[in-house]
Structure 1
Amino acid sequence: MHSAGSALSAEQRHETAQSTVRSTQTAGPETDSEAVDSVFRNRWLDGARQYVVSADGKLQTADGSLGDVEVGNATIAGTANDGSGQQSQFDLSTIKPALPCGPSPLTAAEIARLVVEAAQKYRVDPAFALAVSTAESRLDRDRNSPKGARGPMQLMPPTADFLGVTDICDPAENIDGGVRLLKSLFETYRNPLIVAAAYNAGETNVQKYGGVPPFPETVRFVAEVINRQIGLPLPRAKDQGTKGTLTQRIDDDAAAGVLANATPRQWVGGVMQF
């Protein structure tokens, strides 16, 4: 699920995402890359590094302290969503919702393979891309969000439109667009915690709070993505029954089947090493 907001206009984000599949063009005296680097250094470089996800799936500071993680003027614990209640990637005010997708034509394992292939094509960590797809849609098992997101990468219709995805329900197209979006976010933020948060809650919220927004849904999403990426067991909710456990096992098995040669992540001094 996502919350509305994007730091860039739809056209700017489209241009950024599309640039991942073409050569870099010559820029003026102050290039876009330099501008991004400046924003990144001033706002996220130090702050973004102080957050880690513990083995039990909780977000905490890098020094190991527990409790609320401060984000701007808010804290993660006990802070409600800003009320937008929308999906992340773009403002939906002028976009008609897409029709619901039918059942996925592919198995979870086939979806996982497509995600890994797209990640390798665009040089995104396959384990991260796979973690995002699993957290978003259970590898295309949950294809339709009540808020309008569709397919294995849960793209919003305007996002799909600007990414050049003509059929949002086609798994291959959906995955290609979603991974290109991840590539664009990594080029901007370079931190998997922030990238996951921006994919889920939108770039406006990431910039507003100077890091992971204090939305419970986003915090859970970031924790799940990072835990899946580095291969940690996910915390089990108190009300999760046998069905939930089985679904998680199917997701994990599908991911493991295509990531047999993935580079393992390690914790060193309580800090995640990528």
Structure 2
Amino acid sequence: MKRTPNRLTLWQFAAACAIVAGVAQPAAARADVLEIGADGSRWIAGGGKLAAAPFALDAERSPSTIDNFEESHAGLTTVAAAAGPDRWRARVGQVAAKYDISPALLEALVWQESRWNPAAVSPAGARGLAQLMPGTARELGVNSDDPDANLEGGARYLRMQLDTFDGDVERALAAYNAGPGRVRQAGGIPSIRETRLYVAAILERLSLPVRR
């Protein structure tokens, strides 16, 4: 089955970094391809390596507006190898390959969801590494208490959102957090503080040179 690629253009990445840093920046006029290497280094297609961008997310800061990116996306978020803690690195690579998503993207999502704690339970009832809600786990046929199954369920659900939103990484992440219905209704990332911080935090983690 043909997959929709995971897309993250350079100007989207730069805008997200500006959000995390609390600085508003205009989007660039063109969308260059941003590639993320296994060591966390970044390249622009046809250009040189980008400098590190060690932005820190302040959870208490009111998030800046995340633009609704309406232009067609041309970039791919790619990584050459698996990412994540040693205990989970091989499994992340396997699951990411199965669902054709970036291992770095999957690692960043799980980090944000549970900090890689398989026993994590949210006040709302989300469980495990990927913080699957009971209804979502039932829909996927996943036992949330099985860490391997939970991780695969999260990857599968992320893949579903990427396919639903045409490979748009930001909207897919927003849908993972707030639900696809809210993203459709908003025509982009909903004006929900938690969701906007969530998306910005994951994109920030993708910019870090080491993801363990």
Q: Is the 8 A contact 1:111 1:171 kept in 2?
A: no
Aligned residues: 155
Task: Indicate the residue corresponding to 1:227 in structure 2.
Answer: 204
Matched, 1:63 2:63: no
Deviation sequence 1:41-69 (CA, Å, 0-9, x none)? xxxxxxx96993025614856427x9544
Listed as ranges, the matches of 1:75-154 within 5 Å are 108-140=85-117, 143-154=120-131
**Which segments of structure 1 move beyond 2 Å, counting only runs of 4 or more?**
48-52, 58-64, 66-71, 111-117
Corresponding letter in the other structure for 1:53: A
Task: Indicate the residue corresponding to 1:53 in structure 2.
Answer: 16
Unaligned runs of 5+ in 2: 4-10, 29-62, 69-83
Higher relative contact order (CA 8 A, sep 6+): 1
Task: Indicate the residue corresponding to 1:205 in structure 2.
Answer: 182
Task: Indicate the residue corresponding to 1:218 in structure 2.
Answer: 195
Unaligned runs of 5+ in 1: 1-22, 25-32, 34-47, 72-106, 233-251, 257-274
Gap change, CA 1:182 and 1:59, over 3 Å in 2: farther
The structure that has the greater radius of gyration is 1
Mapped partners of 2:119, 2:146: distance in 1: 14
Gap change, CA 1:60 and 1:169, over 3 Å in 2: farther
Q: When the two structures are superposed, what TM-score results if normalisation uses the length of structure 1?
A: 0.49
Mapped partners of 2:117, 2:208: distance in 1: 20
Identity of aligned residues (%): 32
Gap change, CA 1:55 and 1:69, over 3 Å in 2: closer
Superposed CA RMSD: 3.3
Deviation sequence 1:99-147 (CA, Å, 0-9, x none)? xxxxxxxx95323442332112211011101100000000126610010
Mapped partners of 1:56, 1:157: distance in 2: 32
Corresponding letter in the other structure for 1:63: A
